[in-house]
Amino acid sequence: MGNTLKKIGVMTSGGDSPGMNAAIRAVVRTAIYNDIEVYGIKRGYQGMIEGDIYQMKTTDVANIIQRGGTILKTARSKEFHSDAGMQKAYEQLMQHGIEALVLIGGDGTFRGAVQFFEKYTIPAVGLPGTIDKDLAGTDFTIGFDTAVNTAVEAIDKIRDTAEAHDRLFVIEVMGRDAGYIALHSGIACGAEDILIPEQVTHIDEVLDRIDQDERRKKNVHIIVVAEGDDFGGAKEVFARIQERFPMLDTRTCVLGHIQRGGSPSCADRILASRLGHAAVMALIENKTQLMLGVVNNEIAYTPFKDAVKEHSIINSDMLEMIRVLSA
């Protein structure tokens, strides 16, 4: 491909994450700087199928680096998983003369890419846009830092009221398959317990720790639980606590989609900008079928199949540290 690349498409897919707009901005401006036309594909794979595609100019991405969400919209597409849906998507790309793609999304986006590119030969690179940080091949994903800081701010405020009333709070954060938001926000907020999908939750041990805290007059107890924890979310944990400790003033709080929105942090803006720029340069250099990430502060390239094959590993030292610091 080299310098002959003339038209690329860019899209966001799956769950939105803060920093996606910064990545779109970097892709558009880097491409145009290199005399490449950029076409925005709205609503992810579904927009690709329906031909919801338009040419983007530098002015289209002005003043968006600080905005959450995604100007290209996002959606999940069941139709894309069918042969007929993929055929429609490919035909739309050909009709618009799109020669290569930049895909911004998470696990589902790249799984769809693997299926699509097994059938159709079109160069593509992916950027890890997900608050869950559940992809191999990158130290951080676009949106994770913002989501964690949103959770930290909320949990800090909840602790204030917990302190005032001597309450136990069970706080649920996002993380259906990965516990990184729970782990990082829980450590940062001094949570007494953190429950994540990567570890089996022994609820009796959690209850025993609450009992020990009560015996030594520790009246505030914060439990951060990822929504995908194997025992269940905040509701299930709350029920068991109330069953054993009916005398405790126990409350639950589900932070929910507040973690997806908001202005991206400085870290997410920089990460998204680096990766957006690197994505266009990778396509120019004939690098394809890869997810771009940052490992040890350097751009890293991981084949789509490897990026989604396994999640990055939770550091066992961090899990041990939780027990020590919450004592």
Q: So which residues are the catalytic ones? A: 132
CA distances, 16 to each of 53, 67, 169 (Å): 19, 12, 28
- Nearest-Å Rg of the Cα atoms of the chain is 22
Residue pointed to by tokens 């999304």: 105
What's the CA angle centered on 132, arms 127 and 138, to 5 degrees? 45
Would you call 136 helix, strand, or coil by DSSP? Answer: coil
The rounded distance, in Å, linking the Cα atoms of 86 and 312 is 29
What's the CA angle centered on 48, arms 45 and 50, to 5 degrees? 115
Q: Are 265 and 100 in contact (CB under 8 A)?
A: no
Tokens in use for 188?
A: 């940062």
The number of helix segments (H) and strand segments (E) in the chain equals 11, 11
CA distances, 1 to each of 10, 50, 99 (Å): 18, 27, 9
